[in-house]
Structure 1
């Protein structure tokens, strides 16, 4: 029976592969950092991202990771915001700001319309006759 072994990307130790793709020791460290953040936010709900980082010793990058994973929410930390992955503006929830989300949605709707229009043009260029069309003509 072969065991799936890998090197931890954070510390380099060999570990048995798991769902988190890091060794148990590093996973425990991340969970400890998360608990520090949650405890600090319970006492200092209105702190900013940098105040949270300074108060806990947890890096801004790790706090951002917790927010993106949905582990720290806007309800728990209303003043802790991350940067939009598209424009760099501030984001309270998720990975992109409302402006970029609306633009993305608008672009997707235009893309759908274009695909439908092209399909309709193609259908007009190459008309086909199907048995169901013949049956519809008889009913008229």
Structure 2
């Protein structure tokens, strides 16, 4: 999407002129207010032991929004040991990225299998078609 195009807010659906975020100015203001609430909450040392669900409950900010702040690296969780968020694949709690190690490994295996399968299909097509290649030009027999 290019600058100054009309689009619908990803949060409320309102039509607005796109600038740099996919949310309208009103929702962006709400996001910034939520961020400030989270920062104030974490400034209190006792709250630094909270889980994401406890933080959401105490601040009124959704788990999804807190997760987004962490992924955007707006909330740094190095000093907050219990603050983690769910893996998008299986729901296991993680502290960075989008997928846990297990889901990442599963995705890699699936991709490798797909690549192998596609390579095998192309090889089979070449065998059936007959011919040979010289400088990436195919000649039929």
Whose radius of gyration is greater, 1 or 2? 1
1:60 matched to 2:52: no
More strand by percentage = 2
CA distance in 2 between counterparts of 1:33 and 1:105 reads 36
Aligned match of 1:46: 49
Any gaps of 5 or more consecutive residues in structure 1?
133-140
Deviations 1:39-98 (A, max 9, x none): 433433332112222333322232133234443354254322222222222222222221
The number of residue pairs the alignment matches comes to 130
Question: 1:117, 1:79 → 2: CA distance?
Answer: 46
Give the structure-2-normalised TM-score: 0.69
Q: How does 1:1-140 map to 2 (within 5 A)?
A: 15-42=16-43, 43=45, 44-130=47-133
Question: Counterparts of 2:72 and 2:83 in 1: how far apart (Å)?
Answer: 14
- Unaligned runs of 5+ residues in structure 2 are 136-141
The answer to whether the Cα contact below 8 Å between 1:74 and 1:93 also exists between their aligned partners in 2 is no
TM-score scaled by length of structure 1: 0.69
